[in-house]
């Protein structure tokens, strides 16, 4: 169970003195009720706390996650991924920038002829190159790309929650979606089958939140 420090303190307070109102919790933490509101909402959504109107918050000892939460955890990257925005390592940095504009993506995936994952190029990488003294028309993107094994990846069967956590933790906007294969030398390699981005995550939240209205 991953709680922020403040959420853990809220849970402790509720455990020790429930029922307790939001105002009372806020007072104990020396915070305003407004500051606590998102934490209380998320703890209640997750089933850790129970909110009874005009009574206060209770700690739910054996909290069962809501059915919706269980389904959310079952959603897989493969069902929500986008087509990969892929380029070859020998195209120029200039052409990579043009591709990024025309495809309107935040990152480009660099692949070999057989779609093997070779590298990743972010807008930041291109901006850095464009600012420097690099000859954009001459230098291939292979020179500035992030290479294996430094690429954070996901797979079609990874839960979207885990892939989303990777995006947040590594401060990137795109994960290449890959399937592993073993090459003739017996080494593991990765075939690119899509991309999973913060845009995909945002679309998922909009879809969940909008349906049934």
Query: Do the Cβ atoms of 40 and 25 come closer than 8 Å?
Result: yes
Give the number of residues in contact with a copy of itself, rule: CB under 8 A: 65
Measure the CA–CA gap between 175 and 172, rounded to whole angstroms: 8
Work out how close the CB of 167 gets to a copy of itself at its nearest, in angstroms, rounded to a whole number.
5
Q: Which residues in 162-178 are b (16+ Cβ under 10 Å) and which e? A: ebbeebeeeebbbbbbb
Which of 100, 112, 124 has its CA nearest to residue 172? 124
Sign of CA dihedral 101, 103, 107, 108: negative
Work out how close the CB of 191 gets to a copy of itself at its nearest, in angstroms, rounded to a whole number.
18
Contact with a copy of itself (CB under 8 A) among 15, 37, 52, 147: 37
Work out how close the CB of 200 gets to a copy of itself at its nearest, in angstroms, rounded to a whole number.
9
Contact with a copy of itself (CB under 8 A) among 69, 91, 112, 152: 69
The continuous run of DSSP H or E covering 122 comes out as: strand 117-122
Q: Is 65 in the site for a copy of itself (CB under 8 A)?
A: yes
Contact with a copy of itself (CB under 8 A) among 16, 41, 90, 103: 41
Work out how close the CB of 184 gets to a copy of itself at its nearest, in angstroms, rounded to a whole number.
30
Contact with a copy of itself (CB under 8 A) among 15, 52, 128, 170: 128
Q: Is 147 in the site for a copy of itself (CB under 8 A)?
A: no
For 45-95, give the DSSP string: HTTSEEEETTTEEEE-TTPPPPHHHHHHHH-BGGGT-B---EEETTSBHHH
Q: Which of residues 150-179 bind a copy of itself (CB under 8 A)?
A: 159-161, 164-165, 167-168, 171, 173
| DSSP annotation of 190 | E
Contact with a copy of itself (CB under 8 A) among 97, 121, 175, 192: 97
Q: Is 32 in the site for a copy of itself (CB under 8 A)?
A: no
β partners of residue 120: 109, 146
Measure the CA–CA gap between 48 and 59, rounded to whole angstroms: 6
Q: Is 210 in the site for a copy of itself (CB under 8 A)?
A: yes
Binding site for a copy of itself (CB under 8 A): 1-3, 7, 37-38, 41-48, 63, 65-69, 71-75, 79-80, 94, 97, 100-101, 104, 106, 123-124, 126-128, 130-131, 136, 159-161, 164-165, 167-168, 171, 173, 198-199, 201-213
């Amino acid at each position: 169970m991953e709680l922020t420090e403040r959420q853990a303190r809220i849970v402790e307070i509720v455990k020790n003195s429930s029922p307790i109102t939001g105002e009372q919790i806020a007072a104990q933490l020396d915070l305003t009720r407004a500051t606590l509101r998102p934490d209380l909402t998320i703890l209640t959504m997750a089933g850790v706390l129970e909110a009874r109107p005009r009574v206060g918050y209770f700690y739910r000892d054996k909290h069962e996650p809501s059915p919706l939460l269980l389904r959310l955890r079952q959603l897989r990257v493969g069902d929500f991924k986008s087509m990969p925005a892929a380029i070859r390592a020998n195209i120029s940095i200039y052409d990579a920038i043009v591709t990024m504009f025309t495809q309107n993506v935040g990152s480009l995936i660099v692949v070999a002829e057989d779609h093997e994952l070779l590298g990743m190029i972010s807008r930041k990488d291109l901006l850095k190159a464009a600012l420097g003294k690099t000859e954009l028309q001459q230098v291939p993107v292979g020179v500035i790309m992030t290479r294996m094994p430094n690429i954070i990846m996901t797979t079609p069967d990874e839960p979207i929650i885990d892939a989303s956590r990777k995006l947040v933790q590594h401060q990137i906007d795109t994960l290449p979606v890959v399937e592993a294969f073993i090459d003739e030398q017996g080494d593991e390699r990765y075939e690119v089958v899509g991309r999973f981005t913060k845009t995909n995550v945002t679309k998922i939240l909009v879809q969940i939140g909008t349906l049934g209205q």
